[in-house]
Amino acid sequence: MKDNYLSVSTLPDKHLSADVMYQYLENQLTVAERHEVELHLLNCVLCTDALTGYGLSSKAKSKRQLFEINYHLKSRSSQRHPNQILQHLKNWGITTAVFFIVILAALLVWFQVKQVHKATPPPPTTVAEYSPAQPVSGQSGYHQYLQRNLRYPDQARQFGISGTIEVSFLVKPDSTISDLQIIKGITPELNQEAIRLIKEGPAWIPARRGQNNVAESITIRIPFRLTD
């Protein structure tokens, strides 16, 4: 009987089976088995109530009632199961449809943005035109001025000193010149003559960038050559 008691208890929380309860009521258990059942009843209200109910009804009637209850429970479970499956399928279908709608909307927005970027050309990069500074008389006229107005210092002529002097200066936006410097000189007298030629020479047209006058640094080479 102990094996029967252990095998008929199938619920997860190990409640007493109907057979064990009837064996207990009919004094068919051993002393040890009865003691084990009574210990279980002390801690399980459900089994205690069930045992009381079994004591008020015959074994055959109780089994018939349990069979009817189980039958109705299984019938209701089998009726609900397909509905639950259909409901899960319906919910899954709705979720899938919403997901694809969101993906489709995102793709449409991305495509429209890409088309707008293709249709809109980048703004043209304009570089302001630049015109360098130059003498009002032009480059050839300026060199003619230097040759005609050069005064060879007597001391340099006496010692036969010659060469080329390089002078740098700044043509400002207002056409004035400043910051005259000897980049490559010969003698102080020749250097001073080169500075004089630049200062007293023709005016300069300032450099121009776009619509604005800008300052520009200029370097002039002035040759000093002795002639018979």
In angstroms, the CA 88 to CA 92 distance is: 6
> What residues contact residue 113 under an 8 Å CB cut-off, 6+ apart?
none
What integer pLDDT is reported at residue 13 of this predicted model?
54
Instruction: Tell the CATH topology of 130-224.
Output: TolA/TonB C-terminal domain (3.30.2420)
Domain with CATH 3.30.2420 in the chain: 130-224
- pTM of the predicted protein model: 0.45
Q: Contact, 145 vs 202, CB < 8 A?
A: yes
The pLDDT tens digits for 153-212 are 999 999 999 999 999 999 999 999 999 999 999 999 999 999 999 999 999 999 999 999
